[in-house]
Chain A
Amino acid sequence: MVTRLMNWFDDRLPLTATIERHLTKYPAPINMNIWYLAGVLLVVVLVIQLASGIWLLMNYEPTAEGAFASIQYIMRDVEYGYIIRYMHTTGASAFFALIYLHMFRGMMYGSYQKPRELLWVLGWITYVLLCALGFTGYVLPWGQMSFWAAQVIMSLFGSIPYIGEDLLTWIRGDYLISGITLNRLFAFHVVLLPLALIAVVFVHILALHEVGSNNPDGVDVKKYKDEDGVPLDTKPFFPYDVMHDLYAIGVFLIFFVTIMFFYPDGGGYVIEYVNYEAADNLKTPEHIVPSWYYTPFYAMLRAVTFPLFGLSAKFLGFVVMAAGIAIFVALPWLDRSPVKSIKYKGVYSKFFLALFVVSFFVLGYLGTVTSTPGRTIAAQIFTVTYFAYFFLMPIYSKYEKCKPVPERVQLG
């Protein structure tokens, strides 16, 4: 009966073939480690965000007059509305925490190298889309931080020479951040960006399944195959990976719901306290801080305090901040190393990757605190070391001495 039903489908749609290719028989390297869980957890968070987002939408009012009150309505009057909202805010932070781990995994094991350049580029696009989703979503509650974050970020476009002011008015649709601006950010957040994100994630996974997963040793598992053409150093996705992924999802959800139930503000990092006040365009909060996941780039923005080449400090800060996000996409072409994994790369690659991680965290911290002259200098130094990882890579990755890479994956 089931076989006949499947045959009926298979005559009309490549159903069994698709399931086998992308799920049950997908060959996953046997030496994948804990870092490889971030990807599947990102898919879980995507589903959480879509579900909670759609439910929030049922009670949210996208107007300057009603937005803030509708959030309070969701929190107080809608049954379990507060859980749905906290699910969405916790999900936003989880999304970024996981994508940073996922990206770092790729950087450690050289997962962006040939033939996975396009896979990396697609992943980078999902990161940029996520940044846009985070920003647009942050504005929707129309609290003080929503309003002033929008003011600060949008005014960056006003710093572009010649066209800036007109462009800014065009983006805002008004002479100030207003309900008109809120409405267009709302349209982006709930329709355009999620559609784009789902489409790019889909293509990202298609591309992954075309080139196959990398692994901690960075060796090509397709080199040695058994008589059926199945790579020797792989195991089928079902049941092996599905089982440990389910276990990982369980552990992840324990952390997730702990934050969601007991620490929904995350100490002011998941939800900033200033945002409990309704937007007021005549009153600037004492201290404007972006969400934690943007703070490294915010620190870079503030680090540029001097004009150069006839361009204003503000515009240059904008360029440096954008470059900090954009530079990731160039990694496949910056890395000239003959080996993929950090395990076999030379000492310089290890040093610069460590330096990058330190810079990212220090900048992340500096972005959360008020600027003082000393902190500005620190931000300038760590902005330079952040970019050093990328810009010096063609040199240090080419000339350093690497360890020999084994033919087959190493276990244990």
Chain B
Amino acid sequence: MQPKSPPNPGRRKFLIGATSAVGAVGIAGAAVPFISAFNPSAAAEAAGAPAVADISKLSPGEMIIVEWRGTPIYVVKHSEESINEIDKNLERLADPDSDTDVQPVYAKNKYRSRKPGISVLSAVCTHLGCAPKYYPELGVVDFDTEWQGGFFCPCHGSKFDLAGRVYAGVPAPDNLTVPPHYFKSDDILIIGEDGDVA
């Protein structure tokens, strides 16, 4: 036996629609805590506070590693020679003018630094997040015959110059990221904040 068609189908349709809508809102509301709980917790955010580095003892050609938000940050003091020859390899670079937005505006210059001669670079390869290794020497190295100094990623062979600019024809798509930073004084570098002049 066929069930009789319900009386007042318009009202039924409205009630089904209204119940579904309220149910959907309820599910969306219930999803909020589940999705939000995936965000960094207050403790994780606090651990992401700025890092402080004293660069007074850094001599030309040296590099120190500062930890900020659990990732290594390379702070390199360029030698006289590498500042002068910063443009020598231009034609081999993929993005020499830093057009890709991986640095704060104050680092969008040919040294990719706030202060010429001090590079502050995130040591996370823009390919898949390995740590590129520092090769300051010039000339012939294992992976390059005309090396101008810079960083070489051992994972997949990406190359960057001393200003963190990526070479063309390597897996990494972008220059090394310059984290927000400022110089509190000549010797004190703060990584993680832009300072007042941002």
Contact = CB atoms under 8 A, between A and B. Distances in A.
Interface in A123-169: 148, 151-152, 155-156, 169
Contacts of A148: 130
B40 A174 contact: yes
A177 B170 CA distance: 25
B38 A171 contact: yes
Would you call the interface of chain B mostly helix, strand, loop, or mixed? loop
Interface stretch (B15-23, B67-75, B103-111, B134-142): B67-75
| Interface size range on A against B | 20 to 34
Interface stretch (A88-96, A110-118, A280-288, A404-412): A280-288
Contacts of B156: 302, 371
B39 A284 contact: no
Interface string B129-157: 11100000000000000000000001111
A82 B41 CA distance: 35
A226 to B, nearest CB: 40
Interface string B34-53: 00001111001001100000
B129 A151 contact: yes
Contacts of B47: 174
A155 B128 contact: yes
Interface in B46-86: 47-48, 65, 67, 69-72
B44 A173 contact: yes
A258 interface: no
A173 B39 contact: yes
B171 interface: yes
A16 interface: no
A379 to B, nearest CB: 12
A286 B157 CA distance: 11
Nearest to A305: B171
A175 B44 contact: yes
Interface residues of B, number: 29
Contacts of A180: 40-41, 44
B128 A156 contact: yes
A170 B38 contact: yes
B124 to A, nearest CB: 8
A157 to B, nearest CB: 11
Which interface residue of B72, B173, B174 has the most chain A CB atoms within 10 A? B173
A340 interface: no
A385 interface: no
Interface in B170-188: 170-174
A169 B171 contact: no
B42 to A, nearest CB: 12
A371 B157 contact: yes
Contacts of A370: 157
Contacts of A70: none
Nearest to A313: B173
Contacts of B127: 314
B154 A282 contact: no
A252 to B, nearest CB: 36
A176 interface: yes
Contacts of B67: 282
Contact of A184 (B38, B44, B169): B38
Contact of B131 (A155, A176, A283, A305): A283
Contact of B171 (A156, A175, A176, A302): A302
Contacts of B65: 282
A176 B73 CA distance: 13
Contacts of A169: 39-40
A367 to B, nearest CB: 12
B139 to A, nearest CB: 21
Given A281-B70, A371-B157, A178 B44 contact: yes
Contacts of A239: none
B43 to A, nearest CB: 9
Contact of A288 (B44, B155, B171): B155
Interface of B: 38-41, 44, 47-48, 65, 67, 69-72, 126-131, 154-157, 169-174
Leading 9 A-B pairs by shortest Cβ distance: A176-B70, A284-B131, A175-B69, A155-B129, A312-B173, A284-B130, A152-B128, A151-B129, A174-B44
23 contacts: A151-B128, A151-B130, A152-B128, A152-B129, A152-B130, A155-B129, A174-B44, A175-B44, A175-B71, A176-B71, A281-B71, A282-B65, A282-B131, A283-B131, A284-B131, A284-B155, A287-B154, A287-B155, A288-B155, A302-B171, A312-B173, A314-B127, A314-B172
Given A284-B155, A288-B130, A313-B171, 11 more contacts: A152-B129, A152-B155, A175-B69, A175-B70, A180-B40, A184-B38, A281-B70, A284-B154, A288-B155, A313-B173, A370-B157
